[in-house]
Structure 1
Amino acid sequence: PNDFGKSARAAMGGYGSGRQWGQATTSDMRRLDIRRLQRDGLLKPGRAFGWQWTRNGTEVASIQMRMELDRVILNYRSRSHGGEWQAMEYPVTLEWTPCHLGGRRAWFRCPARGCGRRVAILFGGSIFACRHCHKLAYPCQRETDDDRAARRADTIRRRLGWEPGILNGEGGKPRGMHWRTFERLRAEHDANANASLLGIARRFRLNIPGLG
């Protein structure tokens, strides 16, 4: 789809996610989040378990992990550009830091050659590595000004309980919200929605009545 299609979907259905035009973003990639593994009690030496990624309820990728003392062994298959599958198995060092209220927090050390950054998330490619090694941007870094305005408008819509998407019309005042707060939020929403639509119109040379 072209850029206008992406912008239109964001306006109709809420701010989009995933790959923005240009550089890949963190939301494009499969991720291993050590905070989730620690929260689920999986970082114990001797534990072996599988992890799956799904899309619409269907498994699209999986990995096997085996815990050792202060490291985890990753085992999976990888291929590039439709080539042959290759078996991948390598260790990722873990590091532990104390928490202010007691206990310890786990971190990955990025296994990419020459890196070793301490990170909470590794992103899958031919190897699992940190955001910097994969040259990933955060989605917000790839936003245009009108994308950013649409996202801000949708944040307000969620707070007000309105349907996502700046073209979907306004709802009413949430029960229990003061009128002054509601009017302020509605004014902020309208300003951001108009800025987003004006940006889209200018970018694609469209004539949208009421915008100037």
Structure 2
Amino acid sequence: MGGMGSGRHWYWGSKDSTDDYRSIDVRRWKRDGLLAAHQSFGWQWSQHGEVVASIRVRTESNRVVLTYRHRSGGEDWKDESYPVYLDWTACNLGGERPWFLCPARGCGRRVAILYGGGIFACRHCYQLAYPSQRETWDDRAARKADRIRDKLGWEPGILNGNGWKPKGMRWNTFKRLTTQQMPSYK
């Protein structure tokens, strides 16, 4: 029973995480007003205040054209330019919600986020897992407790002790949150 490499914990050769890839989010572009037709803009990623990657985006009606350069390993730089089609769904209270249609060959899945590798594609095409899928049960419990402690205005970490009830919070809410923030062990 058990042993080296058993279980669902992260191990070498497992799926990459969505955090390992650069991403573009159509919801953010919509919120920032960047999806209006016939305009272009640049998008960049930075790390420690330094720009590490960028792309050019040209918008057309119902699609965006991504233009960028990339390389894998020690290969030469490749220029990429291809369209990513958009799909729009109606919202219940009015307006429309944009979606990317995954440009990977044979996919066409409707997604909000595309991840960059050789091309920008959905997480299913790259077989990416979410970081939370790699967490152990005790890591999840600690993350949940820290989220509740944040709502209470307390310092993260269950070893830091409890604080006072935040001003304006109802006592019933306070009692419910303080009983929830205690991790349950299996």
Question: Shorter-chain TM-score category?
Answer: 0.7 to 0.9
Q: Which residue of 2 aligns with 1:72?
A: 64
Q: CA deviation at 1:123?
A: 0.9
In the other structure, the counterpart of 1:15 is none
Greater relative CO (CA pairs within 8 A, separation 6+): 1
> After the TM superposition, which of the residue ranges 20-29 and 104-113 deviates more from structure 2?
20-29
Q: Give the TM-score of the pair, scaled to structure 1.
A: 0.74
SS at match of 1:191: coil
- Give distance in 2, aligned partners of 1:106 and 1:159: 31
TM-score w.r.t. the length of structure 2 is: 0.83
Residue 101 in structure 1 maps to residue 93 in structure 2: yes
After TM superposition, what 4+ stretches of structure 1 lie above 6 angstroms from structure 2? Answer: none
For residues 150 and 173 of structure 1, the distance between their equivalents in structure 2, rounded to whole angstroms, comes to 21
Q: Distance in 1 between matches of 2:143 and 2:167?
A: 24
Provide the aligned C-alpha RMSD in A.
2.0
Q: CA deviation at 1:181?
A: 4.2
Give the total of aligned pairs.
Answer: 175
Cα offset, 1:98, TM superposition: 1.9
Find 1:48's aligned residue among 40, 48, 57. 40
Contact 2:66 2:84 in 1 (8 A): yes
Aligned pairs for 1:51-200 (under 5 A) are 51-179=43-171, 181-192=173-184, 195=185
Q: Distance in 2 between matches of 1:31 and 1:147?
A: 25
What per-residue deviation string (whole Å, max 9, x for no partner) do you get for residues 1-49 of structure 1?
xxxxxxxxxxxxxxxxxxx664322233211111111122221221111
* Higher percent of residues as strand: 2
Shift of 1:101: 2.2
Separation (CA, whole Å) in 2 of partners of 1:188 and 1:82: 50
